[in-house]
Amino acid sequence: MSDFYKKILDNNKEWVETALAKDPNYFADLAKGQTPPLLWIGCSDSRVPANEIIGAKPGEVFVHRNIANMVVHSDMNMLSVLDYAVNVLKVKHVIVCGHYGCGGVKAAMGNQSIGIIDNWIRHIKDVYRLHNTYLDSIEDETERFNAFVEINIKEQVFDLSKTSIVQAAWKSGQDLSIHGWVYGLNSGFVTDLKVNISSNKDLDEVFQLKF
């Protein structure tokens, strides 16, 4: 057994002991069920842990993560998570949180083949294509990269709002808001990108579903 593998098993035991020392019923209460108020759609990057960033405890955040925090309308994994969060858990907020320095977004700005992930990155490239005039006008590469990260997050918020799952919830009067955040790896702070949607009225008419 490698030292690393043994260490993470030991870490688990220490974590359990610490949690039980603070509250003997901690895990018994967790096992009763979950009622998180929030669905977090974030990047798979190991440096962006959803719970820790917002100081949330286990049971308080339902999480879906993928490369570059994408909302792809044909992704059954994402849609299944979204459907369960909205229609079963009745979350009130969905946050799409990306981060500066995102490798997936950076890859989408270039042409280097990485492997099978190239097919996923095509979705990110489509976002660039929608905003290429503005992005190409930014001469500084770092500034362009940061702007692309922010734009990608905003587009994913709108893509979430376009799903039948979210629009059906709004139609039924469910309290549900979608937000876009960007996380700074070098600061630890999140920034609200001011794209907060709680109705399909914020969408172009062609995307407003009628039920």
Q: Considering the entire predicted model, what is its pTM?
A: 0.95
- Residues annotated catalytic, as ranges: 43, 45, 47, 99, 102
Dihedral sign for Cα atoms in the order 75, 32, 94, 101: negative
pLDDT at residue 80, as a whole number: 98
The residues near 198 (Cβ < 8 Å, ≥ 6 apart) are 170, 176, 177, 178
Dihedral sign for Cα atoms in the order 33, 36, 37, 38: negative
The closest of 132, 178, 177 to 151, measured between CA atoms, is 132
Q: pLDDT digits over 70-109, tens only?
A: 999 999 999 999 999 999 999 999 999 999 999 999 999 9
142-154: burial string, b at 16+ Cβ within 10 Å, e else: eebbbbbbbbbbb
Is the pLDDT assigned to residue 40 strictly greater than 80? yes
If you search the block for the tokens 């907020």, which residue do you land on?
A: 93
Binding-site residues from annotation = 43, 45, 99, 102
pLDDT at residue 1, as a whole number: 73
Binding-site residues from annotation for Zn(2+) = 43, 45, 99, 102
Q: pLDDT digits over 124-183, tens only?
A: 999 999 999 999 999 999 999 999 999 999 999 999 999 999 999 999 999 999 999 999
